[in-house]
Structure 1
């Protein structure tokens, strides 16, 4: 599989970038992952990188983005933080990915059975985790009407993706303008930890 180059990046539209991720996930689920020489890709990318996508995903060990989208070294930026929340550092990373380095799509990737979302739903308070979970609380308030049932928690996870996208658009004029100009797309997706399937929202 060819490593992503500047020429390939320039030719890739935002929708083509999304389709590339969808195709990669299908290969992952079908157990038909592309053959790659990762060490060769290390050499090919040593002089520069031209990823086609930037992902904001959770730190969960079950959701390694490069694997579940069947991508190689140099193909995607991957910002990882518990609960795929948005803060200034995340926004700066995404702005670099798209405005400076040329990525064509931002995907906010949540997942089922998310520990951070579950903790927020149960109002856990513990050290610095408390501050992080406070960024998920708006989704809890918006999507969970009663008890923190498994079904309610999954609704919160979806709402949290939606609200993270809203924050990116509202708090990054750079990325909002790029999306308005059709230079990038900002989309959501959720990974099922039981099946390996990514569903774009």
Structure 2
């Protein structure tokens, strides 16, 4: 390999490296120097189609681990932009909150062309979002629907405190069923962030259920094991994304 043509590993190679590095970390072999590697291109159709829903989940878990350890992949965004201009093959569609502290692509260390993204306060689903998810999975071939809530969610706190403001009032009403269904023995107020976080997780669970109930298209794809619909919680303190099945 000449210096004018640097080696750019495929995403599969990078994933193998990430898994190996994670294993070393678990066994306590820390202090290692990890070579800088770059995502020089977006996902190809062949790479995306070879992934299973579970491998996409593992890919995101490893990406989040890199984020938490402050060793994100060296993305070549210009190369990813060029390689995805003629077509896109994302592996997942993510529904997350608009909170500026919870950018899904960054906390999962994802690049251009890797994920479809929908953001709305309180990560709730509606007809337009469901239609977008159906396009992502049934038409474009994404393997995973990931609903991502987060700790200290202002929308959840607003729903608990019965905040009212224009169109926001109706949006917060969509979160309120999670308040009623959250089992919690402590103080059930928006000032109690432990309760806010418990409601936020329940809200994710209900959103996953609503997706299955209101989208026969996605439900059928999941029943055929072509996709998975899962929930997750991003922790503002520590940066971990917990991914869980509902």
TM-score range, shorter chain: over 0.9
Aligned to 2:148, which of 109, 115, 121? 109
CA contact (8 A) 1:83 1:136 kept: yes
Q: Deviations over 1:139-181 (max 9, x none)?
A: 0111166531221111100100000000000000000000000
SS in 1 for 2:116: strand
Aligned to 1:191: 234
Q: Deviations over 1:4-35 (max 9, x none)?
A: 01001110101001111111000110111111
Give structure 1 stretches of 5+ with no counterpart.
none
Aligned to 2:110: 71
- For residues 188 and 47 of structure 2, the distance between their equivalents in structure 1, rounded to whole angstroms, comes to 48
TM-score after normalising by structure 2: 0.80
CA RMSD of aligned residues (A): 1.0
CA contact (8 A) 1:139 1:163 kept: yes
2:180 matches 1:180? no
The number of aligned residues is: 201
- For residues 78 and 193 of structure 1, the distance between their equivalents in structure 2, rounded to whole angstroms, comes to 19
2:48 matches 1:9? yes
Aligned to 1:20: 59
Q: Any residues of structure 2 matched to 1:1-201 within 5 Å, and which?
A: 1=39, 2-143=41-182, 147-148=188-189, 149-201=192-244
Deviates more, 1:189-198 or 1:169-178: 189-198
CA contact (8 A) 1:144 1:153 kept: no
Deviates more, 1:191-200 or 1:171-180: 191-200
Q: Deviations over 1:58-89 (max 9, x none)?
A: 00001111110001100001110000001001
Off by >6 Å, runs of 4+ in structure 1: none
- For residues 114 and 153 of structure 1, the distance between their equivalents in structure 2, rounded to whole angstroms, comes to 7
- For residues 183 and 161 of structure 2, the distance between their equivalents in structure 1, rounded to whole angstroms, comes to 11
- For residues 62 and 14 of structure 1, the distance between their equivalents in structure 2, rounded to whole angstroms, comes to 26
Measure how far apart 1:3 and its partner are. Answer: 1.7
- For residues 178 and 56 of structure 2, the distance between their equivalents in structure 1, rounded to whole angstroms, comes to 28
Measure how far apart 1:40 and its partner are. Answer: 1.3
Structure scoring higher RCO (CA < 8 A, sep ≥ 6) equals 1
